[in-house]
Structure 1
Amino acid sequence: MTSDDEPSTLPRRQLGRFLREARDSRGFSMDRAARLVELSKTALHRIETGGVKKLRIRDIRALCELYEVTPADTDRAVELAKQAQVTSWYTAFGGLYSDSTFNMYVGLTASARQLIAYHEIVLGLVQTADYARALISTFYNDSSREDIERRVELRLKRQTIITRKADPVKLELLIHESALHRMIGGPRIMAAQLQHLAEISKLPNVSLRVHPFTSGCSRGLLHGPFVILEFGDVNTHPSEPPLVYLEGAGKPDIYMENNDDVRRYHEIASAIRETALNETATRDLLRRVARSHTT
């Protein structure tokens, strides 16, 4: 975990993940790619796993050129390499990383082993297409229908990390009761969404619990939505440190890696968990409120 006087690992982890995926997509072995850009295999491995503290821009550009990365994504990769040098770095990513081919949060969730999320609307990973479409079309109200549908399709594709049969991500979702009543898209869409939550909560890798109005404020504060991302060992690569993600809601997203910050959000999640309904009571409530939306 990074301390206050060390550069963040997050930008170099994201950069390494991006370069690894680009290499795989072009069919290069690590040996061959390293040889063609005049790096050792060990050096390229360290770049791809986020283990290099001082990245050389010329190496990043050479790798992007080898993998035929677009100029726009090459610029984003170079910017990440520069950000990796910043001390006490609290990520505030905005439009620079909003492109679907280079999205920070999408890449992180795809490589996570466990997500602990608290939300006050339905989390994107468990949204129905209609619920997602209603949210996305409201936020991107100037976008074309084709663009809206593309965004919905991308959101639904991301959900496979939860529903896939082989090694799915473990999801613990703590959802505030207000999300069950906040009207998104109309009664029919809300009813279908809540029924979907009740069904998906039966998956062995999913724990879904409602935090009811009667529980008040956890630890005496309104903390807002958050996601804790935990990274376990994948193949033989060492674990990455956990981090906390706070959605920007129109402003830059925030990522926190500091030990104290991650610990604080684990404590908040624990406090919510202690006063949340159990999983059976949650499913009963979801189905009951779903019926109320259609009567």
Structure 2
Amino acid sequence: MLIPKREEAAIRNGRTVMPDMGLTLPLRQLGRYLRDWRIRSSMSLEEAAKVLEVGSTTLHRAEKGGNSRIKSYFVEKACELYGVPTDIRVGMVGLAKQAATGTNWWHAYGDVIPKDFDVYMSLEAFARRIISYQPNLIPGLLQTEDYDRALVQQIWPDAPVDGWISRGRIKAHRQNMILRKLEPTTLDVVIGEAALRHMVGSPATMARQLRRLIELPALHPNVHLRVLPFEAGFPGGVSMPAFVVLNFAPDATGEPTEPPLVFLEVTVGGMYLEDQDDVDFYTRKHRLLKQSSLTDTDAAKLLTRLAKEYEDRER
């Protein structure tokens, strides 16, 4: 019988391995929310389990995403105990309803889970390495405040100014993960030339955005940026959509705390892929896109030239 390497290493080290079967993404996310809100309420695992009328082992498994039979009423009861706000509570119940998704999960915005309940951002916050391809937009983690504001105003044109400002603060908070000095997340991104030429906001906004793309890799060695020029055509003969691959931090044994996953976003929802073949496919495509991209020097020259063109248009 063939034993997976991870389990084989665990057997050698005398550790008990919990099977990965059933630990779907919605379950893990729900478990993370349950644990975080219990801690916010200053309750110990034992105290919460007693009030919820379950064993502490059962609650611990739920917080680890290992309870495949978690019921909506249990989540409701836990949320009430922890004082979880209504909007987040609805999202957590939605995650419970999505428990049996397998390794691929299609999350339709505003369906079982409210549209404003952002599953992706909570995953991104735990990533140790992010690789991405963005053919038409500057990636959110690299956007300037002006660029982000121009997009937000078009997405939610009727929202109050405070709403725009609030969303900008969220974006700035997300960017801290790659800008912080202590264990910053590695970002390895390929941007299509179209993203540099599509006008977002004013020419001045675009100029500042492109200048930022030049500065960030120079100031932060964990940020790697490549530009795929129009002349490169379609590497591999396929027009790839925007995608993100999230890789998570290892545990004390060097194994990932969570399996890597691929995120594909479209207008009405997002697809999360955890199957290893899918992760490998998009990782290979990212490598091919990088190989077809401009060198760091040539990318900097293109960014500088385009930034100057935008600045000249503003005069």
TM-score by length of 2: 0.84
Query: Which residue of the other structure, out of 249, 258, 261, is the alignment partner of 1:240?
Result: 258
Please list, as runs of the form range in 1=range in 2, the aligned pairs for 1:1-150 lying within 5 A after superposition: 9-87=24-102, 89-95=104-110, 96-99=113-116, 102-119=117-134, 120-150=136-166
Q: Which amino acid in 1 is paired with 2:206?
A: M
Q: CA distance change for structure 1 residues 200 and 97 in 2, over 3 Å: closer, same or farther?
A: farther
Deviation for aligned residue 1:45? 2.7
Alignment partner of 1:213 is 2:238: no
Deviation for aligned residue 1:220? 0.7
Q: What corresponds to 1:291 in structure 2?
A: 308
User: How many Å separate the matches in 2 of 1:40 and 1:208?
Assistant: 49
Q: What corresponds to 2:212 in structure 1?
A: 196
Aligned to 1:201, the other structure's residue is in SS state helix
Deviation for aligned residue 1:238? 5.5
Q: CA distance change for structure 1 residues 164 and 103 in 2, over 3 Å: closer, same or farther?
A: same
Q: Which amino acid in 2 is paired with 1:156?
A: A
**Consecutive unaligned residues in structure 1, runs of 5 or more:** 1-5
Aligned to 1:91, the other structure's residue is in SS state strand
Instruction: Map Cα deviations across residues 241-260 of structure 1 (whole Å, 9 max, x no partner).
Output: 11111121x21122112222
User: How many Å separate the matches in 1 of 2:76 and 2:198?
Assistant: 47
User: How many Å separate the matches in 1 of 2:53 and 2:37?
Assistant: 18
Q: Which amino acid in 2 is paired with 1:245?
A: F
Q: CA distance change for structure 1 residues 28 and 158 in 2, over 3 Å: closer, same or farther?
A: same
Instruction: Map Cα deviations across residues 210-249 of structure 1 (whole Å, 9 max, x no partner).
Output: 111111102111111110111122578962111111121x
User: How many Å separate the matches in 2 of 1:281 and 1:172?
Assistant: 17
Deviates more, 1:233-242 or 1:17-26: 233-242
| Native 8 Å contact 1:117 1:174 kept in 2 | yes
Q: What corresponds to 1:166 in structure 2?
A: 182
**Consecutive unaligned residues in structure 2, runs of 5 or more:** 1-20
Q: CA distance change for structure 1 residues 238 and 294 in 2, over 3 Å: closer, same or farther?
A: closer
User: How many Å separate the matches in 2 of 1:266 and 1:47?
Assistant: 31
| Native 8 Å contact 1:8 1:257 kept in 2 | no
Q: CA distance change for structure 1 residues 39 and 116 in 2, over 3 Å: closer, same or farther?
A: same
| Native 8 Å contact 1:207 1:279 kept in 2 | no
Aligned to 1:254, the other structure's residue is in SS state strand
Pairwise CA RMSD: 2.2
Instruction: Map Cα deviations across residues 98-144 of structure 1 (whole Å, 9 max, x no partner).
Output: 32xx3101101001111101102101111111000001111112222
Deviates more, 1:58-67 or 1:118-127: 58-67
Q: Which amino acid in 2 is paired with 1:231?
A: F
Deviation for aligned residue 1:8? 6.6
Deviation for aligned residue 1:89? 4.4
Q: What corresponds to 1:3 in structure 2?
A: none
Deviation for aligned residue 1:65? 1.5
Q: What corresponds to 1:281 in structure 2?
A: 298
| Native 8 Å contact 1:162 1:168 kept in 2 | yes
Structure whose CA Rg is larger: 2
Q: CA distance change for structure 1 residues 45 and 7 in 2, over 3 Å: closer, same or farther?
A: closer
Q: CA distance change for structure 1 residues 235 and 93 in 2, over 3 Å: closer, same or farther?
A: farther
| Native 8 Å contact 2:24 2:100 kept in 1 | no
Q: CA distance change for structure 1 residues 270 and 155 in 2, over 3 Å: closer, same or farther?
A: same
Deviation for aligned residue 1:58? 3.6
How many residue pairs were aligned? 288
Percent identity between the aligned chains? 38
Deviates more, 1:74-83 or 1:6-15: 6-15
Instruction: Map Cα deviations across residues 163-196 of structure 1 (whole Å, 9 max, x no partner).
Output: 1122211110111111111111111000101111
